[in-house]
Amino acid sequence: MMTSTVLCKPVAVMGGKPITARLYAIGRIFLSVAALTPVLGLTLLLGTLTNTAFANEQQEHELEQCSRTANYSIYLSGIYTGSMNRTETWQGNTAVVTSKSEASILGIGTQYRQRTELSWSSTTDEWLTDNFHQKVTGFRSRDMQVTFENNGHESRVDLDGEVETYVSEDIPLRDVDTLLIQIREYLLRGSKQFALIRQASDDIEAYQFYVQDTLTANIEPWGELTLIPVEQTGAEDVTYYFAPSMDYQLIKARYHGIILRGLIELDSYTSSCEPILAH
């Protein structure tokens, strides 16, 4: 039987201020919110085998569906600039992740939307992006559709009608949402260091991740939580904080820009899924 939890905290309102772009591949990676360079750049389980094709089809229909939803506030240099919503809808070893963010970028109202389909690869034992569709209106508007082949090592990117292909020899290409889910998988396995690559709009971005010692922090309204910091270096420097007691949910993330500093913080979290286990 599935249980449902609802966790919320008051949403802080600190006044809006125009910002530049790159905080959401975190307001998405920071979480891409990859689209909002310094800000929206601030702005992640999924098998069974049966004996016959009929049994496989029957089992798929019988799999229960569950979801996890998180709402975040986005800040730039301490100023509230927008919000982000992220929902994972799970069915067996597959998931659909929908993310949306709204912010003011250089005085322009900007909306970010993305839908990602991902699945577990029994061949390579990891979460892989099947495809994703990202749409940004307002600042740096674009319509981006991406598909992946060869276990994530090849991608086809359609950006506003212009098509490019990318190849990664060693590490699969992923979108930001699958990136977060794979980080979660590595934490469940006890990994301390790992590398991942994100498919951006016009390039691929390599990251190295380093898991730090756990710490405790008082996070409203949940009180004292044990957090696992994960430092990201490479194309962007970000520190993520995950809470094991909350399904390894991302609690907050800090974007370490040279000039601009970004932050996303969890405001509320609901789940109808069973506790997460490592594959």
- Which pLDDT tens digit goes with each residue over 199-209? 999 999 999 99
Residue 273 belongs to a domain: no
| Alpha-carbon span 21 to 262, nearest angstrom | 11
> Tokens 């740096």 sit at which residue?
140
Residues 228-234: contacts with CB under 8 Å, at least 24 apart: 228/187, 230/183, 230/187, 232/207, 232/208, 233/207, 233/208, 233/209, 234/205, 234/206, 234/207, 234/208
**What's the distance, CA 79 to chain centroid?**
22
Q: What is the pLDDT of residue 167?
A: 97
Q: What is the largest CA-CA distance in the chain?
A: 59
Task: Output the pLDDT for position 34.
Answer: 39
Residue 123 lies in a domain: yes
Q: Provide, for the chain, the percentages of residues in helix, strand and coil under a 3-state DSSP scheme, each rounded to the nearest 5.
A: 10, 55, 35
- Assigned domain for 279 exists: no
**Do residues 84 and 99 lie in contact, with contact meaning Cβ atoms separated by under 8 Å?**
yes
Domain with 61 in it? 5-267
**Tell me: the pLDDT tens digits for 63-102?**
789 999 999 999 988 888 899 999 999 999 999 999 999 9
Which candidate, 223, 226, 197, places its Cα nearest to that of 212?
226
Is the pTM higher than 0.75?
Answer: yes
Question: Could you tell me if residue 208 is inside a domain?
Answer: yes
Residue 63 inside a domain? The answer is yes
- pLDDT at residue 59 in the model: 52
pLDDT at 5: 46
Count how many domains the chain has: 1
What tens-digit pLDDT sequence spans the chain (279 residues)? 444 444 544 443 334 433 333 443 444 434 444 334 444 444 433 333 334 344 444 454 457 899 999 999 999 888 888 999 999 999 999 999 999 999 876 667 789 999 999 999 999 999 999 999 999 998 778 999 999 999 999 999 999 999 999 999 999 999 999 999 999 999 999 999 999 999 999 999 999 999 999 999 999 889 999 999 999 999 889 999 999 999 999 999 999 876 667 899 999 999 999 988 777
pLDDT at position 105, please? 63
pLDDT at 263: 92
